């Protein structure tokens, strides 16, 4: 797609006109624009940027226009992505509904469910949480035990979900629940949408090693859920969940791009803090070599994404390739975080109370990003999938 492509020209001009300069900086977590009735905008510029994108349907560029989406083809969406990257535009909206539930609803939802939920996701009016893991069901997700009893026009849900991201401020939650305890593990599960305002729902934030409490435990005590909130077939929730997981893994792999820009000064940080040789090179040859390896990997990961895209377009995609992205992306992010911490030296041991917010953020991210190789399918689960589905090794 050349530079002179009219859609590219148009998009570039529109973004230049509508994206405030303050929204063209590498994103930091505090300034993300989250959906939901209880969310506030981090700044007036953030609000303007979000509203402009929302009105264009570009918070969900490829979703159908009848539901408020942008209706772009995959080629056009890619151009939009590239042009946003070129200007360093921040993502206009953050929401689990946008990343995960929406795509699954478009596939499995009833017309009524689509009409009720998708436009509100596009417009950022509802913040969604994900209710998958349970204290007793982590990697072995299918052993989940939150129970939904079928009462005809509604279900009664009891049990608990864990690692529900910001459930304390979420408006709705999509849940996997057990509707048939006698069926085999994967066959007795259904997919339910639950209003967090329902009676019997409560949440408890979980303090993390990063000092934050993004994750919650959510409790359901005989919560009544209307039958119209069942997505897919009764007992057919595992199908829907698999579709969502695909989107989650893709998301986790690009998390790095969403949360922080790749190069945020690893080299600059090292050069400003460490001893340099006469030639201006990092004197610690071992650290220098490990930084080089990380930068090469980060670069190659970008090329791998390109290869996957080109392969898809050319009909030559090795189906095993996309399976590698989550493992590689999250592992490399952690390698970078460890390098940052190492460069900071003993300064990096302070998580609060320093005079550098930037530095504290780096240290917090180091701790926070430990979750990335666990959430959305641990690295070990990813390797199982790569070995079996990618390499064809026996179960």
138 is a contact residue toward another protein (CB under 8 A):
no
Exactly one of 254, 307, 334, 359 binds another protein (CB under 8 A); that residue is: 307
Q: What angle do CA 116, 254, 168 make, to 5 degrees?
A: 50
**From residue 179, how far is each of 132, 159, 160, 250, 349 by CA, in Å?**
14, 12, 15, 29, 48
* Interface pick for another protein out of 314, 346, 349, 353 (rule CB under 8 A): 314
Toward another protein, which CB reaches closer, 87 or 328?
328
Instruction: Determine if 46 is a binding residue for another protein (CB under 8 A).
Output: no
Sole binder of another protein in the list 27, 301, 339, 343 (CB under 8 A): 301
- Binding range to another protein, per CB under 8 A, among 127-135, 154-162, 357-365, 380-388: 380-388
Rounded to a whole number of angstroms, the minimum distance from the CB of residue 389 to another protein is: 10
* Spatial distance between the Cα atoms of 364 and 348, rounded to a whole number of angstroms: 10
Candidates 102-110, 149-157, 213-221, 301-309 — which segment interacts with another protein by CB under 8 A?
Answer: 301-309
Nearest CA-CA partner of 144 in 196, 187, 202: 187
Give the interface segment with another protein, choosing from 151-159, 169-177, 179-187, 277-285 (CB under 8 A): 277-285
Burial of residue 158 (CB within 10 Å: 0-12, 13-18, 19+) is: middle
* Of 225-233, 306-314, 334-342, 364-372: span binding another protein (CB under 8 A): 306-314
Q: Residue 393, interface with another protein (CB under 8 A)?
A: yes
User: Terminus-to-terminus CA distance in the chain, angstroms?
Assistant: 43
The answer to whether residue 288 forms part of the interface with another protein (CB under 8 A) is yes
- With contacts defined by CB under 8 A, name the span among 37-45, 157-165, 228-236, 376-384 that binds another protein: 376-384
Residue 163 phi, psi dihedral angles, 5° rounding = 65, 30
Check binding of 395 to another protein (CB under 8 A): yes
The three-class DSSP label of residue 146 is: coil
Site for another protein in 240-269 (CB under 8 A): 267
Q: Is 78 in the site for another protein (CB under 8 A)?
A: no
H/E stretch holding 147: strand 147-150
**Does 221 interact with another protein (rule: CB under 8 A)?**
no
- Alpha-helix residue ranges (DSSP H) falling in the chain: 6-18, 44-56, 74-87, 96, 102-108, 111-122, 237-259, 266-273, 285-313, 325-344, 357-368, 379-385
Min dist. Cβ of residue 316 to another protein (A): 6
SS3 content of the chain, % helix, strand, coil (to 5): 50, 15, 35
Helices 325-344 and 237-259, packing angle to 10 deg: 30
- Compute the distance between CA of residue 114 and CA of residue 107 in angstroms, rounded to an integer: 10
Closer to another protein by Cβ: residue 5 or 45: 5
Nearest distance, CB of residue 332 and another protein, angstroms: 9
Among 47, 147, 297, 335, binds another protein (CB under 8 A): 297
Q: Which two tokens stand for residue 384?
A: 């199982």
Does 111 contact another protein by CB under 8 A?
no
Chain positions 328 to 367 lying near another protein, rule: CB under 8 A, are: 328
Rounded-to-integer distance, Cα 227 and Cα 153, Å: 5
Q: What is the Cα–Cα distance from 18 to 160, expressed in whole angstroms?
A: 43
Determine the interface stretch with another protein among 101-109, 216-224, 283-291, 339-347 (rule: CB under 8 A).
283-291
Distance CA 245, CA 213 (A): 23
Which stretches of the chain bind another protein, using CB under 8 A? 267, 270-271, 280-282, 288-289, 291-293, 295-297, 299-301, 303-304, 306-307, 310-311, 314, 316, 320-321, 324, 327-328, 380, 382-384, 386-388, 390-395
């Amino acid at each position: 797609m050349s530079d002179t492509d009219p859609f590219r020209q148009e998009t570039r001009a529109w973004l230049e006109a509508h994206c405030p300069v303050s929204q063209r900086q590498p994103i930091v977590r505090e300034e993300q624009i989250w959906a939901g009735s209880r969310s506030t905008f981090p700044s007036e510029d953030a609000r303007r940027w979000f509203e402009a994108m929302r009105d264009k349907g570009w918070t969900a560029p490829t979703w159908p226009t009848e539901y408020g989406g942008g209706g772009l083809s995959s080629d056009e969406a890619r151009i939009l992505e590239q042009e946003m990257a070129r200007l360093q535009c921040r993502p206009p909206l953050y929401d689990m509904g946008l990343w995960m539930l929406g795509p699954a609803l478009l596939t499995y939802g009833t017309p009524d469910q689509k009409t009720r939920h998708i436009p509100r996701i596009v417009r950022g009016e509802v913040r969604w949480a994900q209710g998958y893991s349970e204290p007793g069901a982590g990697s072995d997700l299918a052993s989940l035990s939150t129970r939904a009893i079928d009462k005809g026009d509604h279900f009664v849900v009891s049990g608990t979900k864990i690692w529900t991201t910001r459930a304390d401020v979420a408006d709705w939650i999509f849940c996997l629940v057990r509707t048939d305890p006698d069926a085999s593990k994967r066959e007795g599960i259904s997919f339910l949408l639950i209003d967090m305002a329902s009676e019997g729902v409560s949440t408890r934030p979980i303090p993390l090693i990063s000092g934050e409490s993004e994750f919650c435990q959510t409790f359901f005590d005989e919560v009544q859920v209307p039958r119209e909130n069942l997505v897919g077939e009764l007992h057919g929730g595992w199908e829907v969940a698999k579709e969502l997981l695909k989107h989650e893994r893709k998301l986790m792999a690009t998390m790095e791009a969403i949360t922080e820009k790749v190069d945020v000064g690893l080299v600059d940080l090292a050069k400003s803090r460490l001893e340099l040789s006469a030639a201006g090179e990092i004197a610690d040859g071992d650290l220098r070599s490990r930084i080089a390896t990380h930068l090469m990997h980060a670069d190659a990961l970008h090329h791998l994404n390109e290869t996957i895209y080109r392969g898809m377009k050319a009909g030559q995609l090795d189906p095993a390739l996309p399976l590698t992205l989550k493992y590689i992306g999250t592992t490399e992010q952690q390698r970078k975080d460890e390098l940052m911490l190492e460069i900071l030296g003993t300064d990096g041991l302070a998580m609060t109370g320093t005079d550098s917010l930037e530095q504290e953020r780096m240290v917090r991210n180091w701790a926070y990003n430990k979750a990335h190789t666990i959430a959305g399918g641990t690295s070990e689960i990813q390797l199982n999938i790569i070995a079996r589905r990618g390499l064809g090794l026996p179960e």
